Structure 1
Amino acid sequence: MKQSNPDASPIAVNEPLPVPATPGGYFSAMIVVCAAALVMAATIPGRTQGLALITNRLLSDFPQLTDDQFSWINFWATIIGGLFCVPCGWLLDRVAPKYIVLATMGTLALVTIGMSTATDARTLGIYITLTRGLGQSMLSVVSITLMAKWFRKDSSVAMGSYAVVMTMLMVVGFGLLQGKVVTAGWRPMWASLGWALLMMTPIAALFSWPVTAGRQAADAAAVPSGSASLRKALGTSCFWVFSLSISLFGLVSSGVSLYQVKIFDSIGLDEKVFHVCQLIGLGIGLLSNFITGWLARKTSLSFLLGLAMAVFAASLITLPLLRTPGQAYTQAVVHAFSGGAIVVLFYMIWVHSFGPKYVGEIQGAVQWMTVIASAFGPPVITEGRDLLGSYQAIIWLLSALAGALALAAFVTHVPVAKRGDWSVLDPMPTKGYGLSQEAN
């Protein structure tokens, strides 16, 4: 009887053997990075930043809606839309991403076109909810999961490149939309956005997990060593520290950024300073994406998260203390650098720690948390200001939470899937889904 080697790396029963980090070659890898970035850029209609482009002009078309009523419509649309994350993650572990991209992005395009024709508040609320669910929730999960399932090993450079390409596409998209809304109004601009998404949908679907001569169809479901299920991931401190960190960052980003002009006004800084800070943040964020991706190849991800959250906490402490434009620009550099690092680490950690087999479900759950947190951002800032008496008090409270998460990150154990940390798990039962990941 053949004896097993006790020193060999453990491989789970019935788990496929490891596959190359860049199956199909670097050209295919580049295509996947661009496709995933394009899918994320397509979330613009469902994001707060996208809706903010048309809010004032939209409200002028709906005089029956007050600012507060529209805020609550947006709040509940975000909450309900966040529920779309969970089934999306489940599907991504069972259905090839190209089919999900085709269905989700195409439907989002049609919803965006339909929203441009809305004439009553109820219909508008339904359309906003669908853009949140299909865009901010589902397409975000699809984009991140596509990267995680393709790049199995040494994904730091790929994830950093993805963050950069995605940011550049967002910048171009927002720039074009800003010009269109001023010259044509919100309805023609929103309709044009929908038609543009509809035309890009087949391209994004075609390049989501392309089949190449160097890559077999079965590679799409291949898993290195072992993978953790969502239930197992929920039982680790790594999952909660990283998910709570990105959720807090999302809460602060949606809340503070929405009211940052008012925060600056309360400390004597004008709106021009705010716009310069936004531009500074963009450039520094891109630089941080590259540097964090490079450092992640050499340093523990939990250590990097601890540093990023500590710097993030420091940037929040200084925000209410700013008095001059120079101080504001310095704070913008620090804040953007920490934010860029947190975002890249969020993209990288899930497949690194829990493996790619169940990563759709895991990232669906995390995305749901971040969406819910971002929904609570604006009310947390405004209610906290009213309850505690100033913006400074609530911002410092959020800074304390960021500091606590930084400490937790420094002491958190990070599992490594390719090391075999999850190889003792039973594989997920397979079922005969007609659009499986092996069906190319």
Structure 2
Amino acid sequence: MKNANKFSFVNPKRTPFYYGYVVLGIGSVGILASIPGQTVGVSVFTDPVKDALGLTRNQFSNAYMIGTLISAFFVSKAGVLFDKYGARFVAFFAAFLLGVSLLMFSISVKISTFFKSIFYTDSWLVPFLIITFLFFCIRFCGQGVLTMSSRNMIMMWFDKNRGKMNSISSITVSLGFSCSPILINKLIDTNGWQMSWQILAICLFIFSFFIIQFYRNKPEDFDLVPDGFQKKSNKEKEKEQNFTLAEAKKTRTFWMFGLTLAFNSFFITGFTFHIVSIFAGQEYTKTAAIAVFLPISVIAIFVSTLCNILSDYINHKIYLYMMLVSGVLASLGLLLLSNSIGVYLLIIGLGLFGGLFAVVNAVSWPRFYGRKYLGSITGKVMSFLVIASAIAPSLFSYCFSFFNSYSFISYLTIPFLLFLIVASFKVKAT
């Protein structure tokens, strides 16, 4: 790639150690930087923002759904841009635009008031449309492009040690994601939700500079090789297979793994988005509800560390079934949440699911389909995840509105998981 080091003072060829370790560190930070665009980051803002804009819970959830669904269409296109231009520039624009979107979010009430005065109306539709557009921006830039490009970049720099390196990244990301609701909630309590978004935006602008300095697309751009080992022999190169997106979509593996990851996105998004409301029915305070993320993250970190290390050696079909069983446990936990056993099942299920997600969503795709078209393949999978995360808050919200309980969503999720379990029997061992 021409000008692979443009605008940067850092040259990977001159570092005294393999530059992939720098990529590992900065890429992990990049995934953490997407938190303001992730459900775990948005959920803490849900109640104060919807109240400030005069929206009901269902209206706010629908805005989130529509904005996220629209972003899903563009995420798959961003995967093609990743293959063409690399992680460096794609991640830079994603981080910078995410910061701009957060600034707009911080003044969304003023924007809403301005347009209401222009059109001489006090309709809820005005803030609804504004918030829908802003949700599109942060979901596309944060959950979609910044996450995908950062994770894929790490995978591009490693091959034989891909699982081991991803275990280190997963620990960092899991800790960051689990702590973020507590930290953001404290930030809001101290500074208010508007100022909190502005602070996060400034952090993203600063990080954009570091992306240009330290993000690098692939080792081959600098005459380096994955893992930092000696170049592969011709026989090893011949064994490498690089599937196009069209070829990958013809395999059962692509759909079973993709749909399982999408379910993870659906369930965790719905649960996280309404976590305060879900546990309020069990007489949990807001602080106690958010604290549930801690034991979930402890389990997730342990599982992701172990399974990442083993992923270099074992059949990934095992992980697929472990994820599906974890989903069943989490669904049963939500169904039985009125009993103490439900809380434990929910924590264990989400912990296992989250830990395995960190492995499969990063390591499995380059192992199955190679690195050459990794952006377009993972971009398509990311669109599944984004669509699932878009639908979840509204379905959870309507479930609560009609049945006065979130537990009934399990009557939809459990049959779907059982279908995936049966359909996965013929997935080829890889």
**Counterpart amino acid of residue 152 in structure 1:** D
1:166 corresponds to 2:148: no
Q: 1:359 aligns with which of 370, 374, 384?
A: 374
Partner of 1:371: 386
Cα distance, 1:351 vs. partner?
0.3
1:112 corresponds to 2:117: no
Contact 1:293 1:344 in 2 (8 A): yes
Partner of 1:332: 347
User: How many angstroms apart in 1 are the aligned matches of 2:279 and 2:177?
Assistant: 25
Cα distance, 1:345 vs. partner?
1.3
Cα distance, 1:279 vs. partner?
1.7
1:279 corresponds to 2:284: no
Structural RMSD (CA)? 3.0
| 1:8-407 paired onto structure 2 within 5 Å | 27-63=18-54, 65-118=55-108, 119=110, 120=112, 121=127, 122-171=129-178, 173-209=180-216, 217=222, 224=237, 225-260=240-275, 262-264=277-279, 268=282, 270-271=284-285, 274-325=289-340, 328-329=343-344, 331-383=346-398, 391-407=406-422
Mean CA deviation greater in 277-286 or 254-263: 254-263
- Percent pairwise identity: 21
Cα distance, 1:147 vs. partner?
2.1
User: How many angstroms apart in 1 are the aligned matches of 2:405 and 2:179?
Assistant: 36
**Counterpart amino acid of residue 35 in structure 1:** I
Cα distance, 1:151 vs. partner?
1.6
Other structure's SS at 2:322 match: helix
Cα distance, 1:181 vs. partner?
0.9
Contact 2:330 2:348 in 1 (8 A): no
Cα distance, 1:282 vs. partner?
1.4
Cα distance, 1:61 vs. partner?
2.9
Cα distance, 1:327 vs. partner?
5.6
User: How many angstroms apart in 2 are the aligned matches of 1:385 and 1:62?
Assistant: 22
Number of aligned residue pairs: give it.
Answer: 390
User: How many angstroms apart in 2 are the aligned matches of 1:136 and 1:413?
Assistant: 30
User: How many angstroms apart in 2 are the aligned matches of 1:71 and 1:396?
Assistant: 21
User: How many angstroms apart in 1 are the aligned matches of 2:291 and 2:194?
Assistant: 29
User: How many angstroms apart in 2 are the aligned matches of 1:351 and 1:403?
Assistant: 27
Show structure 2 runs of 5+ residues with no match.
1-11, 113-126
Cα distance, 1:300 vs. partner?
0.5
User: How many angstroms apart in 1 are the aligned matches of 2:22 and 2:244?
Assistant: 28
User: How many angstroms apart in 2 are the aligned matches of 1:276 and 1:193?
Assistant: 22
Q: Deviations over 1:315-342 (max 9, x none)?
A: 3224323455466235413431233113
**Counterpart amino acid of residue 141 in structure 1:** M
Change (3 A) 1:243 1:161: same
Cα distance, 1:357 vs. partner?
0.1
Contact 2:334 2:342 in 1 (8 A): no
**Counterpart amino acid of residue 222 in structure 2:** A
**Counterpart amino acid of residue 217 in structure 1:** F
Cα distance, 1:344 vs. partner?
1.4
User: How many angstroms apart in 2 are the aligned matches of 1:39 and 1:151?
Assistant: 17
Contact 2:74 2:140 in 1 (8 A): yes
Contact 2:26 2:215 in 1 (8 A): yes
Cα distance, 1:159 vs. partner?
1.5
Cα distance, 1:378 vs. partner?
2.3
Partner of 1:14: none
Show structure 1 runs of 5+ residues with no match.
1-21, 416-440
Change (3 A) 1:295 1:409: farther
Contact 1:258 1:378 in 2 (8 A): yes
Cα distance, 1:129 vs. partner?
1.8
Cα distance, 1:352 vs. partner?
0.3
Contact 1:110 1:194 in 2 (8 A): yes
Contact 1:145 1:359 in 2 (8 A): yes
Contact 1:353 1:414 in 2 (8 A): no
Q: Deviations over 1:98-146 (max 9, x none)?
A: 1222222122212222332232124443333211111111112212221
User: How many angstroms apart in 1 are the aligned matches of 2:50 and 2:399?
Assistant: 26
**Counterpart amino acid of residue 87 in structure 1:** K
User: How many angstroms apart in 1 are the aligned matches of 2:18 and 2:185?
Assistant: 33
Mean CA deviation greater in 104-113 or 84-93: 104-113
Contact 1:269 1:323 in 2 (8 A): no
Cα distance, 1:180 vs. partner?
1.8
User: How many angstroms apart in 1 are the aligned matches of 2:64 and 2:411?
Assistant: 26
User: How many angstroms apart in 2 are the aligned matches of 1:62 and 1:391?
Assistant: 25
Contact 1:277 1:328 in 2 (8 A): no
Cα distance, 1:307 vs. partner?
2.2
Q: Deviations over 1:355-384 (max 9, x none)?
A: 000000000000011000111112333445
User: How many angstroms apart in 2 are the aligned matches of 1:326 and 1:311?
Assistant: 15
Contact 2:83 2:376 in 1 (8 A): yes
Change (3 A) 1:184 1:250: same
User: How many angstroms apart in 2 are the aligned matches of 1:66 and 1:257?
Assistant: 18
Cα distance, 1:348 vs. partner?
1.0
Contact 2:332 2:342 in 1 (8 A): no
Contact 1:315 1:335 in 2 (8 A): yes
User: How many angstroms apart in 1 are the aligned matches of 2:269 and 2:70?
Assistant: 17
User: How many angstroms apart in 2 are the aligned matches of 1:315 and 1:360?
Assistant: 31
What TM-score, normalized to structure 2? 0.81
